[in-house]
Structure 1
Amino acid sequence: MYNVPADFINEAKIWEALEANKNPEPSRIKEVLQKAAEMKGLNADDVAVLTCISDPEMLAELFTAANTVKETIYGKRLVLFAPLYISNLCANECLYCAFRATNKDIDRHALSQEHIAREVEVLINQGHKRVLLVAGESYPNQGFQYVLDSIRTIYGVKNKHGEIRRVNVNVAPLSTDEFKQLKAEGIGTYQIFQETYHHETYHKVHLGGKKRDYNWRAWSLHRAMEAGIDDVGIGVLFGLFDYRFEILAMMQHIRELEDKFGVGPHTISVPRLEPATNSDLASHPPFPVSDIDFRKIVAILRLAVPYTGIIMSTRETAKMRRETFALGVSQISAGSKTNPGGYEEEDEISSQFSLGDHRPLDEVIRDVASMGYIPSFCTACYRLGRTGQDFMDLAKPGDIRLHCAPNGLSSFKEYLQNYAAPETKEIGEKLIRDTIAGMSGIARQRAEKLVKRVEAGRDDVYC
């Protein structure tokens, strides 16, 4: 069972594409970049060409192309969220992860619903509106019901100005019936990473537990979408295998979903392997990804799947995060903790992995705004049904910006008015004024109207 490949991941074709397009001429690279500028995506051969770029001048052209596509589609908007770890119980044996079953050097916790509510209160008081619920691949006695109860708890916490308006979920692969239950709780995106698409490597680093079943994991998004969850997220843990292979394998996964369901993933995450408690593999990646190659990965993905969100976590340093904003990143986590209960009480030892950016939310927002980016907490699309194919129908002709730009500004204004430090508020208010002044037409009219409503004391306004 474990040696049978998922039929939509064809390793031979990946190696053929890489071999056929190695050492491309500059003219071929320029041809691919010109194609990418049309914002209709790239095929496997095109992507293979871009992975071979090493010349500084060609790299600069790649990065410029990615920046142009990113700003054309997303503008200067960056969506913010926080991960919420509710449990580090796990039955798997993943060599790169501190949560693996045999690791005795961390304390195990499955938060009670009362404790989850307190964690949510901390996040709301910081200004967060989106969380990514994360759990190890094992649950307390309630089983999967524990996850469903936790989602209800998160949505149920309210205070004067805030509540969590969107819960995304990253939990173990589920059956189709369980995915239907997950959808019924009103989640946003279901997110799961294959970690590595290379079959041999996958089985070398997953030694026990249900996660060892490559196919069960690979086909999980099919089950999710069959259950009606049309916003899904994929990702690779870069460093486990050759990043060139992983990008092309991800492209095969994306095309498979597009062929079967008419729409690919809503987001792609790009985590790099980081040190984890009692994990030699995490500290010494088999295929380390340099900073320049990491920037290449982000830029290539932005050109290959232009309308898919790219998520950058706090695994990376503040410097690296800043550098990737211009290359395609559209969502970032901020003020993150990766251990259950971490927002109430610090416990680095029991974290899933080491963080590179430890700054609190307000400091991240101030930094992002000082660079000219709009920090967005908008959740309008998910609450108005603009998901899956409906979202793409608006995104591809560029119409989604008529909603995203005004909503991003109003949600940022809400943050500044209710949570921001004085210095952050000063920088942010100027950015909002300057941004609206540079807008025109319907987008400007909507932005001015929504921001004025927030100024008048209304929260949670959107179009």
Structure 2
Amino acid sequence: MTALTPSPLLHWSDWIRASDHHAEHRLKLIEQVEQALLDDRQRSDELCRQLAAQLERWRYQILNEQNGSLDEKDRSLLDDLDLHANQLRGGEPRPPRRPLDAIRSDARDSEPIAKLPTWFDAAYPLDQLTAAAKQVTDRGFSVQVSGGSEAAKRRMVLYAPLYVSSECVNHCTYCGFRYPLKINRTHLHVDQVLEQSRILRRRGFGHQLIVAGDYPRHTSTEYFVELIDGLHRDGIEVGIEIAAQSTESYAAMVDAGVRSLALYQETFDEADYQTYHIRGPKASFHWRLEAPERAAEAGIGRIGLGVLLGLSDPVADVTAMLRHGQYLRDRFPNLQLAFSLPRIHEAPDDFDIPYQVTDEMLVRLYSVCRLSFPDAELVLSTREPAALRGQLAQICITQMSAGSSTAPGGYRDQSEPECPGGPECLGEQFPVTDERSADEVAAWLIQSGFEVRWSFLQP
């Protein structure tokens, strides 16, 4: 990668005066930025963080307002804002963020990604594809056990989603948490989250994934930092699957102990994205698209990408997702990548699933992900039925959830009564299809020859 030196922001003063309704505010910010970068004695880390955050917000305001109609002048300003924010944070010199270019072009395709059209072709034998994917997975994810006296086994990491809030201001048309729906809404306080986490810990889960709706007044950076810190102190390996955050927010969560991020673009088709995300913070396609990059710059070392199968053309979406992964790997060579392909089975009554993805297609898509990224974690949730999860586990999956609840407060000790109306009375985000307990899933995996692990930290 070739790092670029940004033009001085003062260079933009005349253009901003002529074209920006907030010119006075922008010019004042530019002066502060230039002064901070020029005068080390007057510069504090806190001031630099504040200025970087303001430049980041300004950049996304432009992206959202222009919405696909950027000209070269706009792009140059966006690049300069990005690079100056990086300078203020003390980041290593780098090229500006351009993930949209990466996912829309084949110019930087790796050798495996260049083969995607062949692998996606229905004429390419599925059994040949799955055999190759299994071979690659067995080679990359087998471990010695029992002191090395036994043959190597494939390892499978089990995790549990820890839902903490179903409050959400977004109007995502396909989602069970979307704002207009009349469902039971629950927001857990820290002590309630820790109680849920300890139930999961007693079931074996050392790796837990915080999941929440997007309700900024409640699901704030401070809230997540407190949760992460508490779970981390309890010895939990903490991941997050929450709304896209700022660089500073991700950095605060890293300091609190977060180790991984799962953030799915849902669809990489920008027009379709706008159709499904009609209101709320998640309506910003670009803010979400660049979130994994912000997280990586903040220090999160394992990042999961994904698409929600059923929203758009699955081949186009998975191709874009893999290109996005390649883009991130090029920029962060030590980044651990994961990919997940959740599939819509049920949605709110007024949502018709536009693209039906068959079991056979799902197996093909996951196999292609493995061949494209031999060292990536491939993740499978309890959305899928037990038999299909077993089939995919044998082929290429390396991480799966088990005994999951998709409602805040949904986990119960055996001595506690279940919710009178069943799990749905808690307000699930989506129904669980594989209803086996964690013990049952672990027992099946062991019987099938897997080495079960309950966190990535487990030796």
Q: Distance in 1 between matches of 2:359 and 2:329?
A: 31
The letter for the 2-side match of 1:127 is: G
Within-5 A mapping of 1:200-349: 200-276=271-347, 278-281=348-351, 284-344=352-412, 345-346=418-419, 347-349=423-425
Q: Distance in 2 between matches of 1:306 and 1:204?
A: 34
The letter for the 2-side match of 1:175 is: S
Q: 1:192 to 1:141 in 2, by over 3 A?
A: closer
Within-5 A mapping of 1:140-151: 140-141=217-218, 143-151=220-228
Name the structure 1 match of 2:99: 8
Unaligned runs of 5+ in 1: 18-39, 158-163, 381-406, 408-461
Name the structure 2 match of 1:430: none
Q: Distance in 2 between matches of 1:318 and 1:94?
A: 28
User: 1:117-158: CA deviations, max 9, x gaps?
Assistant: 22112111212111001110114547321111111232344x
**Would the aligned equivalents of 1:88 and 1:109 in 2 still touch at CA under 8 Å?**
yes
Within-5 A mapping of 1:127-206: 127-141=204-218, 143-157=220-234, 164-206=235-277
Specify the SS of the correspondent of 1:335.
coil
Q: Distance in 1 between matches of 2:270 and 2:281?
A: 15
Q: Distance in 2 between matches of 1:167 and 1:12?
A: 33
The letter for the 2-side match of 1:66 is: A
Q: 1:378 to 1:109 in 2, by over 3 A?
A: closer
The letter for the 1-side match of 2:368 is: I
The letter for the 2-side match of 1:95 is: T
**Would the aligned equivalents of 1:89 and 1:109 in 2 still touch at CA under 8 Å?**
yes
| Shift of residue 369, structure 1, vs aligned partner | 1.1
Q: 1:319 to 1:54 in 2, by over 3 A?
A: farther
RMSD: 2.2
Q: Distance in 2 between matches of 1:279 and 1:140?
A: 28
Q: 1:286 to 1:141 in 2, by over 3 A?
A: closer
Q: Distance in 1 between matches of 2:258 and 2:220?
A: 18
1:52 aligns with 2:121: yes
The letter for the 2-side match of 1:202 is: Y
Unaligned runs of 5+ in 2: 1-62, 70-96, 143-153, 413-417
Q: 1:101 to 1:142 in 2, by over 3 A?
A: closer
User: 1:103-125: CA deviations, max 9, x gaps?
Assistant: 11x11111012211221121112
**Which of 114, 117, 122 lines up with 2:194 in the alignment?**
117
Q: Count how many residue pairs are aligned between Structure 1 and Structure 2.
A: 347
1:83 aligns with 2:161: yes
User: Percent same amino acid at aligned positions?
Assistant: 30
**Would the aligned equivalents of 1:257 and 1:265 in 2 still touch at CA under 8 Å?**
no
Q: Distance in 2 between matches of 1:246 and 1:42?
A: 19
The letter for the 1-side match of 2:247 is: T
Q: 1:352 to 1:103 in 2, by over 3 A?
A: same
Q: 1:141 to 1:331 in 2, by over 3 A?
A: closer
**Would the aligned equivalents of 1:41 and 1:303 in 2 still touch at CA under 8 Å?**
no
Specify the SS of the correspondent of 1:194.
coil
Name the structure 2 match of 1:449: none
Specify the SS of the correspondent of 1:326.
helix
The letter for the 2-side match of 1:81 is: Y
**Would the aligned equivalents of 2:267 and 2:317 in 1 still touch at CA under 8 Å?**
yes
* The 10-residue stretch of structure 1 (2-11 or 142-151) with the greater mean CA deviation from structure 2: 2-11
User: 1:390-413: CA deviations, max 9, x gaps?
Assistant: xxxxxxxxxxxxxxxxx5xxxxxx
Specify the SS of the correspondent of 2:304.
strand
Q: Distance in 2 between matches of 1:352 and 1:300?
A: 28
**Would the aligned equivalents of 1:196 and 1:241 in 2 still touch at CA under 8 Å?**
yes
User: 1:330-354: CA deviations, max 9, x gaps?
Assistant: 0000000000000035432411011
Q: Distance in 2 between matches of 1:296 and 1:316?
A: 15
Specify the SS of the correspondent of 1:272.
coil
The letter for the 2-side match of 1:252 is: R
The letter for the 1-side match of 2:119 is: L
Q: 1:42 to 1:301 in 2, by over 3 A?
A: farther
| Shift of residue 210, structure 1, vs aligned partner | 1.0
The letter for the 2-side match of 1:124 is: R
User: 1:215-264: CA deviations, max 9, x gaps?
Assistant: 00001111111112222111111111111101110122112212222245
The letter for the 1-side match of 2:131 is: T
The letter for the 1-side match of 2:100 is: I
User: 1:49-70: CA deviations, max 9, x gaps?
Assistant: 1011345xx2111110000000
**Would the aligned equivalents of 1:254 and 1:264 in 2 still touch at CA under 8 Å?**
no
**Would the aligned equivalents of 1:97 and 1:279 in 2 still touch at CA under 8 Å?**
no
The letter for the 1-side match of 2:127 is: A
| Shift of residue 301, structure 1, vs aligned partner | 0.3
Q: Distance in 2 between matches of 1:239 and 1:361?
A: 28
The letter for the 1-side match of 2:211 is: V
Q: Distance in 2 between matches of 1:12 and 1:132?
A: 31
Q: Which TM-score applies when normalising by structure 2?
A: 0.72
| Shift of residue 184, structure 1, vs aligned partner | 0.3
The letter for the 2-side match of 1:91 is: V
The letter for the 2-side match of 1:280 is: D
| Shift of residue 274, structure 1, vs aligned partner | 2.5
**Would the aligned equivalents of 1:140 and 1:146 in 2 still touch at CA under 8 Å?**
no
Specify the SS of the correspondent of 1:84.
strand
The letter for the 2-side match of 1:333 is: S
Name the structure 1 match of 2:184: 107
Specify the SS of the correspondent of 1:268.
strand
Q: Distance in 2 between matches of 1:174 and 1:375?
A: 32
